[in-house]
Amino acid sequence: MKSRWRVFETSIAGGSDKVFGRSLAIWRMEEDNWRMTVAAITAVLGGRKVLKRSVASNTDLRVMTREGLPVGTLSTLAEELNVERKTLAKVVGISDRTLSRRLATGSKLSAEESDRTMRVARVFASAKETLGTAEKASRWLQKSNLALGGHVPLDLLDTDAGVREVETILNRIEYGIYS
């Protein structure tokens, strides 16, 4: 992502005939990055094995979220994050007992629970990409952060505003801004 700005600046300095070619290159790079993000989110949710379908686009993610994710995605995501399942269930807004019952029956999450699960998966995938490994991302999400007022990033993922705060800090880290 960092390089796209340099490419854009180069294209502006290079004249109008190069702007079109460079702009097309930027668009393709952003599209490839977007595809990678969909693949990264799908992977942390358990991939085709857990989701029971292939996911190729943001539209597929949206449709799955509205239909309800398989309850097994929570267990898989908890393993990826290296947290207890009940900790993740709390962030998603499901009681431990309800989660156990749904796991026993193999039912789906509600649309709201699926949306919160998808947000956690998106932030975790972003943290993995920014910090380099799943272990580093998991550690970062579970330690208090001064840039977040001493809060633990994972604890903030229960609201959209909290997710935005955490994503802002991850973007600052990615671009080398002190956080």
pLDDT of residue 179: 58
Residue 106 is predicted with a pLDDT of 87
Cα 164 to Cα 101: distance, rounded to the nearest angstrom:
31
Contact 145, 153 (CB under 8 A): yes
Asked if residues 122 and 166 have their Cβ atoms less than 8 Å apart, the reply is no
In terms of Cα–Cα distance, which of 157, 148, 32 is closest to 92? 157
Distance, CA of 152 to CA of 62 (rounded, Å):
28
pLDDT bin (cut points 50, 70, 90) of residue 178 is: low
Indicate the residue type of 18: K
pLDDT recorded at residue 143: 95
Residue 37's pLDDT is what? 84
* Separate counts of helices (H) and strands (E) for the chain: 11, 0
pTM for this one? 0.78
What integer pLDDT is reported at residue 54 of this predicted model? 86
C-alpha closest to that of 109 among 87, 94, 129? 94
Write the pLDDT tens digit of every residue in 20-43: 444 444 444 444 444 468 889 999
Q: Is residue 173 packed enough to be buried (19+ CB in 10 Å), middle (13-18) or exposed (0-12)?
A: middle
Residue range 78-134, pLDDT digits in tens:
999 999 998 999 999 999 899 889 989 989 999 999 999 999 999 999 999 999 999
Check: CB of residue 28 under 8 Å from CB of residue 2: no
Token pair recorded at residue 32: 């490839």
Contacts of 148 (CB under 8 A, 6+ apart): 156, 165, 166, 169
